[in-house]
Amino acid sequence: MGRNALLPKPLPSDELAVGQFITHPLKPELDGFYSSTAAGSVDELNDYFIQLRYKDVFSLDQEGRFAQSYGAKFDLGKIYRKPNLLSVLAEQMIQRVSKKPLQAFEAVCADPEALAWITDMVEKGQDFFFVAGITEFKNAVFKRAVLQDGGVSNKLREEPIEKGAKVPKAVRRDSILGLGTEANLSGVFGMDVRRVMARIGRPEEPHTIGDLKAKWVYHKIPDSELQLMVGLGEQVQADELRSMLDLTEEDVQVNLDNISRLGMDALTAAASPLLKASSPALRGRSPSPHPGMKHLRI
């Protein structure tokens, strides 16, 4: 992944871009800001890497989150006792990395609309982040990876991902639907995301010791003696990103999807002209309620 940290789960490609502000690294759909004004300046500072037929090996933690990538030419000693491994083959790996993240950050902060959004975040007490790089896979296929020869060699045997395996939701859902691992997944699998510090104060106010971790830009607030201070902080590491994934929410959504699908199966069966109400296929089954009605009591 280079300078981009491996994400615990893939994210939609159309919701992330280099130079974007987001309020949650794993939920870019919640809130964010992308400056079309600064887009050209940000793009000029990017490095682009494209690799066809990209191969990698991912390890997963006990909760089924992507934990580390090892590359196609992995070190056997690093993965020897990893019980949860997946191989990935993608048609394309596209990596965008800002060569000068601070300059890209400054270009975005020079946009008055970006400053208005940042000010709103400060007033709300909302944390936010800056995207400085992304790694995207096109049509990636995941399979279970098992060391051959008891780990004597560094050869891997690939198998379909077993039903109920502890893997990210996008992969697990394919297994539940009985599609194996042949469904192609596209999305963002790695990201260089930086913490942002921001506050409003007087120009003469001194910085704190914690401020030394960030690179700061300053903007005077019109018709005021105050200024907006915005600091680009350190990169969020892969283990921190894993801790941000709400597994409870992920598991609940999977269960709701399964319930909804079973409900549709029952409704389809009930509508079949070949089945009567007394048919064995219908006895003891009732359509599951839509997930949106789960709080209603009958």
pLDDT over 50 (residue 295):
no
- CB-hemisphere CA count at 13 Å for 52? 0
Range from 63-67, 259-263, 269-273, 293-297 that averages highest in pLDDT: 63-67
Mean pLDDT value across residues 102-116: 95
Model pTM score = 0.76
Mean pLDDT value across residues 157-183: 67
pLDDT over 70 (residue 263):
no
- List of residues 6+ apart from 179 with CB closer than 8 A: none
What is the pLDDT at residue 151? Answer: 55
More confident call, 157 vs 102: 102
More confident call, 18 vs 264: 18
Q: How confident is the model at residue 182 (pLDDT cuts 50, 70, 90)?
A: low
Range from 53-67, 121-135, 220-234 that averages highest in pLDDT: 121-135
What is the chain written as a DSSP string? Answer: -TTSEEEEEEE-GGG--TT-EES-TT-TTSSEE--TTTHHHHHHTEEEEEEEEEEEEEEE-TTS-EEEE--SS--HHHHTT-S-EEEEEEEEEEEEEES-HHHHHHHHHTSHHHHHHHHHHHHHT--EEEEEEEEEEEEEEEEEEEESGGGTSS-EEEEPPPTT-S--HHHHHHHHTT-TT-S-EEEEEEEEEEEEEEEEE-TTPPPPGGGGGSEEEEEEPTTSS-EEEEEEEEEPPHHHHHHTS-HHHHHHHHHHHHHHHHHHHHHHHHH-TT--TTSTTTTT--PPPPGGGTT---
Angle at the Cα of 85 from the Cα atoms of 82 and 87, rounded to 5 degrees: 145
φ, ψ dihedrals at 66, nearest 5°: -55, 130
